[in-house]
Amino acid sequence: MSPSSVETSNPPRILVVEDEAKTRESLAEGLRLESWIVKTAATGAAALQDLAGESFDLVVLDWMLPDKDGIEVLQQIRHRGMQTPVLMLTARTTLNDRVIGLDSGADDYLAKPFAFAELLARSRALLRRPMWATGRMLRCGDLQVDTRTRTAVRGGEEISLTPREVDVLEYLLRYQGQVVTREMLERDVWKQTHRATSLDNVIDVQMARLRRKVDGEAAERLIQTVRGVGYRLGKEAE
């Protein structure tokens, strides 16, 4: 099951509201690479004008804007009765800000600095276009994982994995073809949300072991390291 098969024919329309030009343009370009239609706005006023003129499937909204708070923009959007999902971006990470953001009608919340892969994953979730594969049997090439019996088979031979390794492999398979960052693994697989003490070295060691078991003797390597970003499960050509 390839992730592209999940997508529907008409691409989603995204509005990116961010005052920092470099960030804005790189986010827009990254999203366009997903074949999405992206429009950008640098100020809250421009964003509200765009939102009044056309409809979007998702708004990526920066908290700190030069003319008005992202929260204000969000409240006005909701005040106008628009139900468009909103993903807030912010440099603040305290719980209180998080509560304020979610209370004012944001659907999700991403703290800066973030990995683009993470933004993509959250956006897809909000667009209800999951990038992850579903179902009991997950496959990629000759690798197959049964999520119920928690067993993995590659080329007809069963691979002996620890429970944590099964978790990681399942997660990679669900996001196959996409980059998975260490932060995503740390949060979703290791269930550790605290950022101060990172498990990066644990994750790296774990991934090295998993790769030995999965790719060890196979001709084709399925687990790729994307340097400086994270990992991706898929065929090397992708």
Partner 1 sequence: MNDWWRRRPLRFRLALWYAVVGTLLLAALAAALYFYVAERMARPLDHQLRSDLSQVEQRLAVESDRRLVWNGRPLEQRAAWSTQYPWFELWNDKSELVCRFWPFTENRVQQVPSAPARGRETISVFDVAPDLRLRVLSVPYQVPGQEGKWMLRLMRVHEPVGDALGALRWIILVALPVVIALLVVGGYYITKLWLMPLDVMAAEASRITADDLGRRLPVENPGDDLGRVATIFNVTLDRLQSSFEALDRFVADASHELRTPLTTLRSVGEVGLRRARSAEEYAEIIGSMLEEAQRLQHLIDRLLELASAEAGAPDVHRTEFRVDDAVGACVNELGVLAEAKGQKIAVDLAACRITTDAVLFRQALQNLIDNAVKYSPEGSTVRVIVRELPGGEIEVSVADEGTGISPENQVHLTERFFRPDRGRGRSQGGFGLGLSLTKAYMRVLGGALRYERLQPTGSLFRLVLPKGTKPHQITMNQRAMTNVGNNAAVASFSGATPSGK
- Report the residue number, 157 or 238, with the smaller CB distance to partner 1: 238
Vertex 208 angle, CA 3 and 111, to 5°: 60
Write down the least CB distance from residue 233 to partner 1, Å. 18
Choose one: 28-36, 59-67, 142-150, 226-234; the region binding partner 1 (CB under 8 A): 226-234
Structure-token pair, residue 177: 């073809």
Stretch that binds partner 1, among 6-14, 61-69, 122-130, 204-212 (CB under 8 A): 204-212
User: Who contacts 5 (Cβ-Cβ below 8 Å, separation ≥6)?
Assistant: none
The residue from 197, 217, 236, 237 that contacts partner 1 (CB under 8 A) is: 197
- When asked if residue 208 is in the footprint of partner 1 (CB under 8 A), the reply is yes
Q: Cβ contacts of residue 113 below 8 Å, gap of 6+? A: none
CB atoms within 10 A of CB 71: 22
Quick check: 95 binds partner 1 (CB under 8 A)? yes
The structure tokens listed for 90 are 């912010």
Interaction of residue 212 with partner 1, rule CB under 8 A: no
Which parts of 112-171 interact with partner 1 (CB under 8 A)?
113
Q: Is 110 in the site for partner 1 (CB under 8 A)?
A: no
Both structure tokens of 41:
């706005």
